[in-house]
């Protein structure tokens, strides 16, 4: 049972957007998916409540910021949305469960520095050898200097950059209805699905 943890200590980088869409992708493949939300803001948990009954099922994994328990055995795929400032014993508990860590980051100097420190902490973790770590650029406009700086930063990390997701209202409009890119007609979100191809391949590997 793969456990995908979406983590970055910086707030507002798109963890919940990434988490919900990863869960949506797994559900679109027919898997028994659970989505946990260890963040106090409970954005992913709220999203699950908005999800229509007709959509492919995604179950709630009851976790809190004080307790991260193992998911039920009848689950085949797990996604965990984590809080900003993840550190200490919570950080260690999350890594014990994780098979893959998906790290979203935005093209700002503040996000870059926060992410660098987090990746260093990941590398020093006793669980580092078993983890697959992937980076995803969030809300990236390829035409900007900030995007160039982000490319420069990730180029020196030695970690796979799975993709750069554009800044689009598609994510916002779909989230408001409890949906993901993988719940609507592909023709409606064609550009975005193209950006997800490498991410999906990594999730399946």
Q: With cut-offs at 50, 70 and 90, classify the pLDDT of residue 100.
A: very high
Mean pLDDT calculated for residue range 19-40: 92
Query: Which residue, chain included where needed, has tokens 């993901």?
Result: 180
CB atoms within 10 A of CB 18: 25
Mean pLDDT calculated for residue range 88-107: 82
- Smallest CA-to-CA distance from 17 within 125, 118, 139 is with 139
Nearby residues of 69 by Cβ (< 8 Å), 6 or more positions away:
62, 63
Of 4-13, 65-74, 122-131, 153-162, least confident by mean pLDDT is 65-74
122-149 pLDDT per residue, tens = 888 777 788 899 999 999 887 887 788 8
Mean pLDDT calculated for residue range 37-51: 85
Query: Has residue 45 got a pLDDT over 70?
Result: yes
How many whole angstroms separate alpha carbon 45 and alpha carbon 87? 21
Superfamily of 3-204 according to CATH: P-loop containing nucleotide triphosphate hydrolases (3.40.50.300)
pTM of whole model > 0.85? yes
144-173 pLDDT per residue, tens = 877 888 888 888 888 888 989 999 999 999
Query: Has residue 84 got a pLDDT over 70?
Result: yes
Q: Which residues are registered as beta bridge partners of 150?
A: none
Domain boundaries, the chain: 3-204
Sequential DSSP letters for 6-28: E--SSTTSSHHHHHHHHHHHHHH
The overall longest dimension of the chain from CA atoms, in Å, is 47
How many whole angstroms separate alpha carbon 108 and alpha carbon 81? 21
């Amino acid at each position: 049972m793969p456990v995908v943890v979406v983590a970055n200590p910086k707030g507002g980088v798109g963890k919940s957007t990434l988490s919900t869409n990863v869960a949506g992708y797994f559900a679109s493949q027919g898997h028994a998916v659970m989505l946990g939300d260890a963040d106090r803001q409970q954005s992913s948990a709220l999203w699950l409540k908005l999800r229509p009954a007709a959509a492919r099922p995604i179950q709630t994994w009851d976790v809190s910021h004080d307790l991260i328990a193992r998911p039920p055995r009848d689950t085949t795929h797990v996604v965990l949305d984590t809080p900003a400032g993840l550190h200490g014993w919570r950080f260690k508990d999350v890594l014990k469960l994780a098979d893959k860590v998906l790290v979203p980051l935005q093209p700002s100097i503040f996000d870059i520095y926060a992410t660098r420190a987090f990746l260093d902490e990941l590398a020093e973790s006793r669980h580092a050898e078993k983890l697959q770590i992937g980076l995803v650029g969030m809300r990236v406009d390829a035409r900007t200097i900030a995007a160039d700086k982000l490319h420069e930063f990730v180029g020196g990390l030695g970690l796979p950059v799975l993709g750069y997701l554009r800044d689009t209202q598609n994510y916002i409009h779909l989230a408001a209805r409890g949906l993901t890119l993988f719940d609507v007609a592909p023709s409606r979100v064609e550009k975005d699905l193209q950006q997800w191809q490498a991410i999906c391949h990594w999730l399946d590997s």
